[in-house]
Amino acid sequence: MSSNIMLPESPDPNTRSETVASKISFNEQSSSRTSKVAFSFMEKRAMYRVVVDGADVTPEDILEPDYVMMVDTFSHAAFENKPRFKSETGLKATSKSRSVTEGAMTVFATTISLDDIHIDHTLNTSEGFIPDDEVLEQAPSAFYLPKSKPVMSYPPEIFIVLKETETCYLFELPSFAFEKGTPEADKVEEDNEFYQYITVGKGRNRKMIVEETQTEEYIVQTRHTLASRPQRKNAIAFASLWDMHDTYAKLANVKKVEEPDEMVLYQSAAPNLLRKKKLNVFDASLKKGKCFEELASTPEFLDAVLLAERVLSTLEYSEAQKKYRGLVRIDPLSLDLVYIYTMKPLWTFECEDTINRPITGISFNPKNENILAVAHGKFRYAECYNGLVCIWCTKNPLKPERVYQFEDPLTSLAFAEKNPNWLACGFANGDVLILDITSYTTKSIAKSKRDTNPCFEPIWVTSWRSIDKDNEFVMTSCQDGRINKFTNTKTHDFICSPMMRISTVEGKMKGLEATKACLKVDVPITRYPAALCIKWHPNVEHVYLVGTDEGCIHKCSTHYLNQHIEVFKAHAGPVYGMEYSPFMSSLLVSCGADGAIRLWIEGMDDVIMTLTCPAAVYGIAFCPINSTVILSVSGNILSIWDLRRKTHMPCAEYSFPNNVVLTYIKFAASGDNVFVGETSGRIHTFHLEDTPIPPFYQRKMLDEAIKKALCTRPQLLKQLEKLEKFREKYAK
Amino acid sequence: MANEAEDTIRKLSTYKGVVGVVVVNGEGIPIKTTLDNHISVQYAGLLTALVDKAKTVVRDLDPSNDLTFLRIRSKKSEVMVAPDKEFILIVVQNPVE
What's the gap in Å between the CA of B47 and the closest CA on chain A? Answer: 15
**pLDDT tens string A22-80:** 444 444 444 444 334 445 566 777 777 788 887 878 777 777 776 666 666 555 544 44
- C-beta atoms of B59 and A298 within 8 A: no
pLDDT at A656 over 50: yes
Contact A577, A619 (CB under 8 A): yes
Q: What is the pLDDT of residue A247?
A: 84
Per-residue pLDDT band for B41 (boundaries 50, 70, 90) equals very high
Side chain identity at A178, as an amino acid letter? F
| Domain around B92 | 1-96
pLDDT at A180 over 80: yes
What's the gap in Å between the CA of B64 and the closest CA on chain A? Answer: 7
pLDDT at A17 over 60: no
Q: What's the mean pLDDT in A663-681?
A: 87
Q: What is the pLDDT of residue A547?
A: 92
Q: Does residue A239 sit at the B interface (CB-CB below 8 Å)?
A: no
Query: Which residue among A292, A297, A315 places its CB closest to the CB of B32?
Result: A292
User: Which residues sit opposite A633 in a β-bridge?
Assistant: A619, A638
Q: What's the mean pLDDT in A91-104?
A: 42
- C-beta atoms of B8 and A305 within 8 A: yes
Q: Does residue A353 sit at the B interface (CB-CB below 8 Å)?
A: no
- In angstroms, rounded to a whole number, what is the distance separating the alpha carbons of residues A546 and A666? 20
pLDDT at A157 over 60: yes
pLDDT at B33 over 60: yes
pLDDT at A422 over 70: yes
What's the Rg (C-alpha) of chain A? 53
Query: Which residue among A240, A300, A312 places its CB closest to the CB of B18?
Result: A312
pLDDT at A95 over 60: no
Exposure pattern of A677-701 as b/e (b: 16+ CB <10 Å)?
A: bbbbbbbbbbbbeebbebeeebeeb
Q: Is A492 left (phi over 0), alpha (psi -120 to 50) or beta?
A: left
Q: What is the pLDDT of residue B80?
A: 92
Helix (H, G, I), strand (E, B) or coil at A710: helix
Closest alpha carbon within chain B to A351 = B11
- In angstroms, rounded to a whole number, what is the distance separating the alpha carbons of residues A295 and A300? 9
Predicted TM-score (pTM) of this structure: 0.64
Q: What's the gap between Cα B90 and its chain centre? A: 2
Q: What is the pLDDT of residue A418?
A: 87
Q: ipTM value of the model?
A: 0.86
- C-beta atoms of A293 and B2 within 8 A: yes
Higher local confidence (pLDDT), A144 or B65: B65
Exposure pattern of A217-240 as b/e (b: 16+ CB <10 Å)?
A: eeeeeeeeeeeeeeeeeeeeeeee
Contact A530, A480 (CB under 8 A): yes
Query: Which residue among A241, A291, A307 places its CB closest to the CB of B63?
Result: A241
- Mutate which of B6, B9, B59 to test chain A, going by most A C-beta atoms within 10 A? B59
Q: Does residue A294 sit at the B interface (CB-CB below 8 Å)?
A: no
pLDDT at B50 over 80: yes
User: Edge to edge, what strands does the sheet with A652-655 contain?
Assistant: A617-622, A629-634, A637-642, A652-655
Higher local confidence (pLDDT), A592 or A526: A592
Closest alpha carbon within chain A to B81 = A308
- Kindly report the number of other CB atoms within 10 A of residue B50's CB atom: 15
- Mutate which of A250, A305, A402, A403 to test chain B, going by most B C-beta atoms within 10 A? A305
Q: Which residues of B touch A299 (CB under 8 A)?
A: none
Q: Does residue A308 sit at the B interface (CB-CB below 8 Å)?
A: yes
Question: What are the two backbone dihedrals, phi and then psi, of residue A190, each rounded to the nearest 5 degrees?
Answer: -60, -45
Q: Which residues of A touch B4 (CB under 8 A)?
A: 296-297
Per-residue pLDDT band for A143 (boundaries 50, 70, 90) equals low
Helix (H, G, I), strand (E, B) or coil at A585: coil
- In angstroms, rounded to a whole number, what is the distance separating the alpha carbons of residues A511 and A516? 13
Per-residue pLDDT band for A273 (boundaries 50, 70, 90) equals low
- In angstroms, rounded to a whole number, what is the distance separating the alpha carbons of residues A183 and A191? 12
- Sorted by sequence, the CB contacts under 8 Å of residue A154 that are 6+ apart come out as none
A88-97, A131-140, A329-338, range with greatest mean pLDDT: A329-338
Contact A32, A1 (CB under 8 A): no
- A/B interface, count of CB pairs below 8 Å: 99
Higher local confidence (pLDDT), A429 or A39: A429
Contact A572, A512 (CB under 8 A): yes
Question: What are the two backbone dihedrals, phi and then psi, of residue A698, each rounded to the nearest 5 degrees?
Answer: -65, -45
pLDDT at A155 over 50: yes
Higher local confidence (pLDDT), A124 or A567: A567
- C-beta atoms of B18 and A242 within 8 A: no
User: Edge to edge, what strands does the sheet with A342-349 contain?
Assistant: A342-349, A683-689, A673-678, A662-667
**pLDDT tens string A364-407:** 888 888 888 998 888 888 788 888 999 998 888 888 888 899 99
Mean pLDDT of chain A: 77
User: Which residues sit opposite A466 in a β-bridge?
Assistant: A472
- C-beta atoms of A312 and B15 within 8 A: yes
DSSP label at B18? Answer: E
Q: Which residues of A touch B26 (CB under 8 A)?
A: 288, 290
Side chain identity at A466, as an amino acid letter? S
Helix (H, G, I), strand (E, B) or coil at A264: coil
Q: What is the pLDDT of residue A24?
A: 45
pLDDT at A590 over 90: yes
CATH number, domain with residue B78: 3.30.450.30
> In chain B, how many domains are there?
1
SS (H, E, C) A160-198: CCCCCCCCCCCCCCCCCCCCCCCHHHHHHHHHHHHHHHH
Choose the weakest-confidence range: A26-30, A568-572, B88-92. A26-30
Task: Please return the burial class of A11, using the count of CB atoms within 10 Å of its CB with bins 0-12, 13-18 and 19+.
Answer: middle
- Sorted by sequence, the CB contacts under 8 Å of residue A672 that are 6+ apart come out as A326, A625, A687, A688, A689
**Consecutive H or E run containing B48:** helix B37-61
- In angstroms, rounded to a whole number, what is the distance separating the alpha carbons of residues A91 and A72? 29
Q: Rounded to whole angstroms, what are the CA distances from A473 to A30, A43, A444, A717?
A: 99, 97, 16, 41
Question: What are the two backbone dihedrals, phi and then psi, of residue A700, each rounded to the nearest 5 degrees?
Answer: -65, -40
Helix (H, G, I), strand (E, B) or coil at A632: strand
**pLDDT tens string B15-27:** 888 999 999 888 8
- In angstroms, rounded to a whole number, what is the distance separating the alpha carbons of residues A511 and A434? 38
- Kindly report the number of other CB atoms within 10 A of residue A405's CB atom: 11
Q: Which residues of B touch A309 (CB under 8 A)?
A: 12, 15
CA dihedral A45, A47, A51, A57 (to 10 degrees): 40
Q: What is the pLDDT of residue A277?
A: 53
- C-beta atoms of A296 and B5 within 8 A: yes
Helix/strand number for chain A, H first, E second: 11, 31
pLDDT at A115 over 50: yes
**Mind giving me the DSSP string for A421-446?**
TEEEEEETTS-EEEEETTSSS--EEE
Closest alpha carbon within chain A to B49 = A127
Q: Does residue B50 sit at the A interface (CB-CB below 8 Å)?
A: no
- In angstroms, rounded to a whole number, what is the distance separating the alpha carbons of residues A534 and A442? 28
Q: Rounded to whole angstroms, what are the CA distances from A431 to A491, A501, B24?
A: 19, 18, 43
Per-residue pLDDT band for A575 (boundaries 50, 70, 90) equals very high
**Residue (of A598, A601, A554, A549) closest to A575 by Cα position:** A549
What's the gap in Å between the CA of B42 and the closest CA on chain A? Answer: 16
Contact A692, A626 (CB under 8 A): yes
